[in-house]
Structure 1
């Protein structure tokens, strides 16, 4: 094994893996909130090729290095594509919620989103054809992240106000519902008690007198004037 092979392996591990791939991988996890299994497979394959290149009697160590580079490039592309797909879904969902609460959205934001979508489709098509598109994918992801920051900055306050109003409305609704339910249960129990007790019971008579008094007080206009 020559010094050149060792230097190339060191460069791949330091530059391609530590200083480049891991940054992309971290962004992907933060956006997608999961570890992409296919990406992990590509990294394992790359490390396997690098390990083979270190074997003294390997027939073609340079080919192993080239294969390792291809797997790492594919891992970067898969990470970036997954990040772009998830970020696009987040943007569309955020814009939908904003339009429901705000009723309108600045034209520049929609224009930027359409530009990202058009660029994304074109680059995904080129990537399927085997073209090197890592840098273009980085650019799309940067645009999508920037648009997300704009939405967060411009519409965060509105979202907070709407959320607080919804929480207050839910609390009021629950209070009224519980109050109505309690009143209904109380009246139902009182009615059942009056039915089950003997007709000449003192409690029944007192209850009927109380109900009549409440009814007369609420319905008779003369009571309010006296």
Structure 2
């Protein structure tokens, strides 16, 4: 079985740079060092309730709901390109003009969107009218790092009630400093519990360290 190997929010070298260096001096195996930072990263993500470290190949599905009344296809004489005109004609033929133009990815940057990087791999529409379509990503605006918003062009045949499957990557390509510290706190908490399950004699309280990490990550919750 393949191991879970995320890009850590903090490296073991960063953990060793400060007050926790003596705490992890017995972690001499590179694999054990990596595993500690991997686990700490995942615990931080669980505390935040969202993905933070870089990821790829994430699959999400949403149900297309709602439409801005100002964006109905027949709301005025909106100039359309050929693809938009064909999409409108198809919509009329199918008996609907209620086409959704907006989608949202669940994972986005709640803070520091300039440090977040998206990689949109595919969008597939599963229409409520039957039939699937792989969307041409060149015709889609977004996703926006600060909201995860995706904007479909006029003429995209995406009726309300359809399901949309997104496959994408994202995450902080540059990790904010507070998340680095949260990961270090989480790693130190794990190390203290491993060294002394009774939590005595090491000068660090694992519960306090974990609470500090959770407090930082809580600010990244959706």
TM-score scaled by length of structure 2: 0.23
More strand by share: 2
More helix by share: 1
Q: Whose relative contact order is higher, 1 or 2, with alpha carbons under 8 Å and at least 6 apart?
A: 2
TM-score scaled by length of structure 1: 0.22
